[in-house]
Structure 1
Amino acid sequence: MDANTKLVIGTFFISFATFQLLFYFVSSWFSAKISPSFNSLSYEKKIEWNSRVVSTCHSLVVGFFSLYIFFFDEATIADPLWGDPSLVKVNLAIASGYLISDLLLLILYWKVIGDKLFVIHHCAALYAYHFILKGGMLAYVGNFRLLVELSSPFVNQRWFFEALKYPKFSKANVINGILMTVVFFIVRIAVIPPYYSYIYSVLGTEGYVRLGFVVQCSWISTCVILDVMNVMWMIKISKGCIKVISLARQERAPNSLQNGKLD
C-alpha cells in the first residue's frame, strides 16, 4: 500500500470519526454556548440541529478546499479527466467520511431526519467518488461537483432561524434567504450548461475512451440524478424566497401608508 492510499484511507476514517464526534458531543455543547435557546428545543429538533451543524462544518471544509483545487491545483486543471488526483482524493475522502457518517445517522434517527432523497443523493455521490478514489480518473470533474457544498451553510442557517423562531421577515432571515437562493443557483444550477457542454466536448476523445464504458455511463448517469435533485430543490427554494419577499412587501405597504398619514 503506497503512501497516498494510506493517506486517503486515514483521512476517510478520521473524517468519519470527527463528524460522529461533532454530532454526539461537540455540537450540543457549542450550540448551547452560542444560543441558549438550544436547550429549550425538543429532542427531535436537537437531533436535526446537530445533524445540520455537522453538515455545515463539512460543507465549509470541503467547499473551500474545492475552491482552492479549482483555481490553483495545476495538476488537475491541466487534464480534467486524468490529472493527478492527490489533493482531490483527500477532499473526497473527507466528503466520503461525512456521507457514510450522515447515512448512519439517517438510519439511526430515521423517524426524525430520515429522507429518501438524501439517501439517494449520498449513495449516488459515493458511487461516483469511488471511481476517483480507486482509479484516479475524473479528479477535476469530481472536485467541480463538490463546489455545490458552498450552498449548504445557507440552507442550514435558514433551518436554524426557523428552529429558533426568528420572524420570517427579520433582516437576518431575509438576507440569508436571498443569499441562499443566489449561491444555490450559482453553484448548483448555473453550472449545469457549461458542465454538460464540457462532457459533450470530450466525447470520443482519447482520454474519454480510456475511461471505459462503465465509468462513462456512471459519470453521466450520477450527474444527471444529482442535477435533477438540484433542480427540484432549486424550485422549492425559489418559491420560498419569492413568497417571503412578496409577503415582506405586503407588510411594508400598510406601514408605509400609516407612516405617511402620521406625517
Structure 2
Amino acid sequence: MAMKSYRYQAEILVKDYLLADPFVRYTSVLGGIFMCKMAYDFTQLISSFYFKGYASLTKIQRIEWNNRGMSNAHAVFITLMSLYLVFFSELFSDSIEGLVTFRNSNLSTFTLGVSVGYFMTDLAMIFWLYPSLGGMEYVLHHVLSIISISYSMLSGEGQLYTYMVLISETTTPGINLRWFLDTAGMKRSSAYLVNGVAMFFAWLIARIFLFLYLFYHIYLHYDQIRQMHTFGYLLSFLVPIVLFAMNMMWFGKILKGLKKMLAKRQ
C-alpha cells in the first residue's frame, strides 16, 4: 500500500507540476541542466572506479571525458523520445486532424526543454574551455540548436521537424566512444574498427538519409509551413539546411578516416 501511495504521489507531481502548462517550459530546462550535472558526476564516479587510466589523464582530458558522458546521457534520452514521438505516438500521425506543424503536447514540450537545458550547459562548457571542447563549428551547431529548439518549445510550432533533426543525436554515442577508445590508447583495437564502421552507417542513415526525408516532408507540407510565424517559417528551412551542410562536411571526414583505418588493417 505504501508503494502504491508513493507512486500515486509521484504521478500527481509529474502531471500537476512538472508537466503542467504554466511550468513545463521552465521545469524542463532546469531538468535538462540537472540531468547534465548528474551525468557529469556519474561519469566521473564510474570512470575513477572502473577505468584505471582515468587518474593519469590530464585535467582537460578528464573534463572532456566527463563532458562526453553527459553528452551520451542526453543523446540516449533525446533519441528515444524523438523516435517515440515521431514514429510511434499519435501526436504527429495522419489519424489526427489539424495542421501537423502546430501539433504539440506537454510531453513533447517538456522533452524539448530538457534538450535546451543540455545544449545551454554544453555550450557554456565549450565557451569556458574554448577551444578545448570544440571549435566554432560546435558553437554554431549549439547556437542553432538552442534557437530552433527553444522557439519550437515556446511557440509549439514545428515540433515534428525539430524532433526529426534531433533523431540525428543517435550518432553521438559512437562519436564519443571513438574519442574514449582513442584516449584510452585503444586506437588499434577491433572495438575501434567496429565502432568506426558502425559510426559510418549510423551517420549515413541518421544525418544524411533522414535529412533528405525531412526535406521531402517539408516539400509535401509546404502549405502548412507557410502558415507558421515568419521566424518559425525561416527556421524550418535555414536550420536543416545549415546542419545538413555540416553533416555532409563531417561525413566526408568520417569516410576519409574509415578508408585510412581500413587501409592500415590490410
Q: Calculate the TM-score normalised by the size of structure 1.
A: 0.88
Instruction: State the distance in 1 between where 2:239 and 2:79 align.
Output: 20
Q: Pairwise mapping of residues 1-263 of structure 1 onto structure 2 (< 5 A)?
A: 3-23=20-40, 25-78=41-94, 79-168=99-188, 170-203=189-222, 205=223, 207-249=224-266
Structure 1 unpaired stretches of 5+: 250-263
What's the offset of the Cα at 1:146? Answer: 0.9
Instruction: State whether residues 155 and 180 of structure 1, in contact with CA within 8 Å, keep that contact through their aligned partners in structure 2.
Output: yes
Letter of the aligned partner of 2:158 in structure 1? L
Instruction: State whether residues 157 and 232 of structure 2, in contact with CA within 8 Å, keep that contact through their aligned partners in structure 1.
Output: no
Instruction: State the distance in 1 between where 2:77 and 2:173 align.
Output: 11
Instruction: State whether residues 88 and 143 of structure 1, in contact with CA within 8 Å, keep that contact through their aligned partners in structure 2.
Output: no
* Structure having the larger proportion of residues in helix: 1
What's the offset of the Cα at 1:88? Answer: 2.0
Letter of the aligned partner of 1:11 in structure 2? S
Structure 1 residues 139 and 167 mapped into 2: Cα distance closer, same or farther (>3 Å)? closer
Instruction: State whether residues 77 and 140 of structure 1, in contact with CA within 8 Å, keep that contact through their aligned partners in structure 2.
Output: no
- Specify the SS of the correspondent of 2:191: helix
What's the offset of the Cα at 1:42? Answer: 1.2
* CA deviation profile, 1:7-55 (whole Å, cap 9, x unmatched): 23112102112313433x3222111222111111111211211111111
How many percent identity over aligned positions?
Answer: 22
Instruction: State whether residues 76 and 170 of structure 2, in contact with CA within 8 Å, keep that contact through their aligned partners in structure 1.
Output: yes
Instruction: State whether residues 24 and 109 of structure 2, in contact with CA within 8 Å, keep that contact through their aligned partners in structure 1.
Output: no
Instruction: State the distance in 2 between where 1:5 and 1:179 align.
Output: 42
Moved more, 148-157 or 101-110: 101-110
What's the offset of the Cα at 1:111? Answer: 4.3
How many residues of Structure 1 are paired with residues of Structure 2 in the alignment? 245
Instruction: State the distance in 2 between where 1:242 and 1:223 align.
Output: 28
Instruction: State the distance in 2 between where 1:178 and 1:149 align.
Output: 17
Instruction: State whether residues 112 and 153 of structure 2, in contact with CA within 8 Å, keep that contact through their aligned partners in structure 1.
Output: yes
Letter of the aligned partner of 2:209 in structure 1? A
Instruction: State whether residues 92 and 100 of structure 2, in contact with CA within 8 Å, keep that contact through their aligned partners in structure 1.
Output: yes
Structure 2 unpaired stretches of 5+: 1-16
Structure 1 residues 214 and 18 mapped into 2: Cα distance closer, same or farther (>3 Å)? closer
Instruction: State the distance in 1 between where 2:105 and 2:228 align.
Output: 15
Structure 1's consecutive aligned runs of 4 or more residues displaced over 3 angstroms after TM superposition are none
Instruction: State the distance in 1 between where 2:39 and 2:211 align.
Output: 33
Instruction: State whether residues 211 and 240 of structure 2, in contact with CA within 8 Å, keep that contact through their aligned partners in structure 1.
Output: no
Letter of the aligned partner of 2:169 in structure 1? E
Instruction: State the distance in 1 between where 2:214 and 2:73 align.
Output: 26
What's the offset of the Cα at 1:230? Answer: 0.9
